[in-house]
Structures are given as structure tokens and as C-alpha cells.
A and B are shown apart, each in its own frame.
Chain A
Amino acid sequence: MSKTLLKNGRIISPSDKLDMVGHILFENSVISSVEKDLPPEDKIDQVIDCSGCLIMPGAIDMRVQSADPGAEHLESLSELLAAAGNAGISQIVSLPATTPVIDSAVMIDSLRLRASSTHGALLHLYGAMTQSLNNQQMAELGMMAKAGAIGFANGVVSVQDSLLMRRIMIYSKMLDKPVIHHCSDAYLDKDTDMNESETATRLGLLGSPAIAETIMLERDLNLASITGCRYHAAHISTASSVEALRRAKKAGLSVTADTSPAYFLLNDKATADYNTAFKLNPPLRSEEDRLAIIDAIKDGTIDSITSDHHPIEMDKKMLPFGQATAGASGIETLLPLAFSLYHTNDISLTRIVTALSTAPASILSLETPKLASGETANISIINLSSSSVIRGTNFLSQSQITPFEHYLVDSKVVGCFVHGISVML
């Protein structure tokens, strides 16, 4: 038996309606008590002083693209899970755009098996919506669900064919799994480099209009409405999409959404010097969009915050902006950047904790994250008053390209437990 005491932290657990300064004691993988009063410290193997720190249910990152299989040299699965754990994330959900594509039960089986013997965050998987992500033929969703896929996604490829999307939604509803979709109209988005804007015009780059996202989202919302499918809009980046989501939620649709730090902390002016670290998909949007995203996080229109981690080879970034590949590392900066909403935008800690744990768990039907006696000891600890500057070279992962290079954050992950085991290195 191994007993660990987390002492004197601010414990926030939305599903327990808990926000208090207190202590958490856990034995092996199970929480034995969450109390205001300090339990006797004898017989405890490890005491961690959490004064000034936030103790929250283990964070869940529901949008991660693993480079493995296919580009293990960039970041292997074990590196990814270790990096996530070290960054305070207890569970990640990986997208299917690997090589080969995760579009069969065999792929799900194999990755789950590999992850089960790896130290770090727990791995969940989305199955591909279409075979080889070809957008032509539905993948074997049923077989993948049976093998443990927790939802279906298509990476950064939007299913343009509305009939196919309708069938995928009907089929997913039958399997009671959510559909996670990247929204982009292929025609409006074709060959574009960044957000359609004055900056794009000055830089001479081809712009993708914000409505390229919203048009696809609106289509999906209409399809979700007639199919009754659990629909999740991934990395939402525009004010008009937020409006569409707000309307859909008001109408009672089973719709959820996430966004990522780049869309609430940065805008398209960041690309002014052609720095390809800022080339993302969806692209960085206008300041108005950014502010709308913050409001949407605040009022819950956007349910969860994700890292949108997407390792890209340096070779594919050291190119003219138009030729560079979109994407960046995100897993090791997710928590400090998300909590900057607390420091600078007056979003409550409970709301941020919800967006990082209970919301993704509920969207994906994972075990409800709780901090209470008898619950699994998946716990993240964040020091909310420890300033530092983000440097890609400090990342554990080999994937070190970040749009937040030199960005100042005020919080730091200081502890992370998965099933009671510390995964901080």
C-alpha cells in the first residue's frame, strides 16, 4: 500500500460541486478522502505541499494528433504519452490521421495495446470516419467501436459529401458514439494560406474566409438536427461559428465544441512576418473572432479546450509560408495557456477546469472525473502563480514548434497522477 497526501491545495472539482482549500489522500489508485481537515500524517508515504496550487481532476485533452505510427522519429507514442503526463494531462484522445490511418479494429487494438504498457497519460482513440480518410467510403465504425474507439473523427479533412456525412452520423448514433468534425468548406478553403484579412492581402497570401468554417458547421448542425447524432465541432475559431453553435444549443441539439489556445490568445496579425510556426489549421483569425471565442468559452457555448497538438517536421516548416505545413506542438503548453484565461480574461477556475476535464469526459462518455472518496486518483496540480516563458526547446517531445515561443504564462503544472501514479518526470 502506498499512501499519498496532497496537502493544502485549492481543490476544484465541478462534478462534485467542490471548490475549497483542503487535502486529498489517496492509496494506490483510489482516492480515500477529500477533507478540509488535515488527516494525521503518520503512515503516509508521500506528502506533497500544494499551498497556492490548484488541485483538479486529471486533465483530458480530446484533440491530439499522434505522429506514431508513421512518423515516430518526430514523436513516438511513448514520448507523446510521457510528454502529456509531464504537462499535467492524464488522458489524451488521438486523431486517426496517422500512417497507416486508424480506420480498422486492428489499428485500434494495436495502439491500445502499445499504450497500455507505457508510462504517462492514458490513451483513447478516435476511429477514422472514412476508409483511409478518403472521404468516399465509411470506415468500419462498428468494428472500431467494438475494439474501443470512443468516437469518430477525420483529422483535418472535412467530409464534403453531405449524404456521406448524414450516413456517418446515422451510423454513429446507432453505435452511440460522437462524431468529431473539423469544419471547412473545401472550395472556399482550397490552396489558402491563412485567414482572409488585411494582413493576408498585405502579405500577398491567399486567405480563407471565416465562413469556410461556418458554412460547414451549419451544414453539420442541420444534419445533426435530423439524425439526432452526438456532434462535436472541433477547434472552432470564428465568431460566426460561435453564433451558429449558440443557436444550435439553444434549439436543444446534442452539439458540443472545443477550441484551442491559439484561437483565444492569438490573432492573424501574428503571421505578419511569415513565421510558419503561426501557420495552423484552422488559421489564426481576426481579433473580433478571438474575443468571440473567449466569450464562448466563458458562457459554455464552447465546451472544452484542447491542445490541437499536431507534430510537424522542421523541414516542412522551413519553407515559404504558402508551402509550409499547418500545425504545431500543443500538448506541453495546454494547461498554462488555458489558465491564462483566469489571469487575463476573468474566466472562473471552475469553468476552465470544466473545459479541461469534465466537459471532454462527458462529450466522449468517459468516466466522470471526480475528486471524492472511492474515485480514481487521476489528478492534476497547477501552481497558479509561477511565471515562466514558453520555449520549444524545453519540451520533452521532439516536436518543438510552437506558436507560443517566448510567450509569458503565469501558471505551471507541478503534479500529475494517473491511477495514483505520478507521471511527472
Chain B
Amino acid sequence: MTRDTKIANDTPPPAAMLSNKHLLGIQGMPIPEINALLERAHFFADRPKTLFADVLANITVLNMFFENSTRTRVSFELAAKRLGASVLNISVNSSSVKKGETLIDTATTLNAMRPDILVARHHASGAPLLLSQHVDAAVINAGDGRHEHPTQALLDALTIKRSLGKIAGLKIAICGDIDNSRVARSNLYLLSALGADVRFVSPATLVSPYFSEMGVPVYTDMEQGISGCDIIMMLRLQTERMEGRETPSQHEYFHFFGLDTRKLQKAAPNAFIMHPGPMNRGVEIDSKIADDNSKSLIRTQVELGVATRMACLEAIAGASTRVRI
């Protein structure tokens, strides 16, 4: 693997400084702050995991997951614990918080317990913003509806940067259920901001025509779409956010939009495959590809998720401390 000189750090990079108290999305985030987070995450990733156990010693992190999650919740929990924070996990039954008032009520109750950071995942787009308006703690968006998943985009960028040495100039295809994907949106904003050539590949029923209007190249033919691409990022068919009528069947979906060996031949010779997980094998990705460690960065993504979230928690803790002072 090659390394970008910019993040091949000999002297440790400082903790990222963010201008916002909350981390709600990639959209609107200044590029230097994105780079600072990536550099710090890269630094964390290469150091022993016990080295930073006092960084967030007096910080309380509350994981509030209004939507089921394993990897993201565990990733945030590990990140917080490696930085020495106190972590509490609250799994909230999503049916009890369907209304805005209830979400605010929950937030108000929790706020009274004075946490420092709320890590929130919610099935409704915009819920973390609403939460941030009603609590004193800093809010990190751990994925909201179809809107954003900023830490996923950051860890994806870090994975790409560490694997290919750069992001600028890379051809990156994000493939699958674009409309229902917060990962697609956050990655679009982040990777394009860092100079990648990002395109979407999706059945026409799963990609809003407004993405084209936003200037994103959209392909409905997968072989054309991934042609010459350095990174193929596959997305999960988000059946929980679909009414089941966007595509005819999983059988047809895999035939036209599933990543298999034949379609992969169209990509750049050393192309890498990514997937935010969890995967639907045989729906959007062939097992042979998913499990091929010479091509797949899927495990690396999970691994770097912790370091990335450490960088985010550290930066947000710093920002919230500054605000409080």
C-alpha cells in the first residue's frame, strides 16, 4: 500500500479543531477540518489502542440509537472507551419516538443528566439537528434517515486514502440504492470536496433526477458506470426504507446492478471494492468479491471506523468544551 505524503506523519497531527459545536453532516464542512479529522484518525489508527485512554477522561458520551445498529454503535462505543470517556448506550424503541415532541421530551430528560456528547442515530432525516437544538451537549450524527452519515464518509475517505494514497483525481462509483442512502450523500459531498470524480450507478427508480441536476453523473448501466473506476462502493438495498416496488425483484436487481466478477472487469485493473455494510450477499454483491481481500476493503472500513470516530469524538469534545467556556 502506498501512503499519501500529506498524512504520512512523522510528528503527530494535532486534534482536529472544528468550527461547529455539533457534527451533523459533511455538507458545509470546511475542507481543512475534514483533512484535520482524517489526519488525526490516520494517526490513531497506527498507534496502540491503549495509548489514549485519558484523552476524554471527564467526558460522558451517550449513544442514542433510535434505529437498530450494531457496527456503528459498537464502533462509537469502542472509540469513546479507547479515549477514556464514560459511555452509556440507550436503545430507544423507535415506535415510541415517532413524533417530534416525544423526541424533544426524550432529549430534555437526558439533557438533565448533563452528558457531554450525544451520538444519535435516527430513522428520520433531520432528527439529530432537532435534537441539537434542544440539548446542551454536542451532537454527533451517527446516521439520520436518508440524509447524512458523516462519520461513515470520513472513515470511507480514510480507507481510500490509506489504500490508494490519495483521493483527488480518483474515479469513484457509488452503486445501488442511492435515493435511500445517507452514505451515498455524505460520501458524495466529502469525496467530491476532496477532488474525487464521484458518479452514481443505480436503477433509474432508485436515484432522483435531481442528483443529475446537482451535477452528479448518473449511470443506469452498471458496466458503463464503473468503467475505469478505482473504487466501487456498493450500497445495501435499503429494504426498510423502500416500499418494495422500486425494482422488480432481488433476482433482477442482482442481474443488472449486483457486483459480480464479470461486471468488475470493467473497473480499473486494481480497483477496490467497498461496502458500508451490512451486506446482502447475492443481492448487491457476489460473495466471491466481498470475501476477496485483495480487492475488498470492507474489513478495513470497519477497522478504521473506530479511529475515525475517535478523531471525531476528540474534536467534538474539544469544540464543546470551548463552547462551554
Contacts and interface: CB of A to CB of B under 8 A. Distances in A.
Nearest to A161: B245
Nearest to B246: A167
A173 B255 CA distance: 18
A173 B209 CA distance: 13
A140 B204 contact: no
B252 A140 contact: yes
B205 A167 contact: yes
Interface in B225-278: 243-249, 251-252, 255-256
B203 A137 contact: no
A137 B251 CA distance: 14
B35 interface: no
Interface string B151-189: 000000000000000000000000000000000000000
Given A137-B244, A163-B245, A171 B204 contact: yes
A167 B245 contact: yes
Interface string B200-229: 000111000000000000001000000000
A37 B41 CA distance: 85
Contacts, number: 41
Contacts of A163: 243, 245
Interface string A133-144: 000111111110
A421 interface: no
A169 to B, nearest CB: 9
B204 A170 contact: yes
Contacts of A131: 248
Interface in B33-56: none
Contacts of A138: 245, 247-248
A136 B251 CA distance: 17
B111 to A, nearest CB: 40
Nearest to B221: A174
Contacts of B247: 138, 171
B245 A171 contact: no
Contacts of B255: 142-143
Interface of B: 203-205, 220, 243-249, 251-252, 255-256
Given A137-B244, A167-B245, 9 more contacts: A138-B245, A138-B247, A141-B248, A164-B245, A167-B205, A170-B204, A171-B203, A174-B203, A174-B220
9 contacts: A136-B245, A137-B248, A138-B245, A141-B252, A142-B255, A143-B248, A167-B205, A171-B247, A171-B248
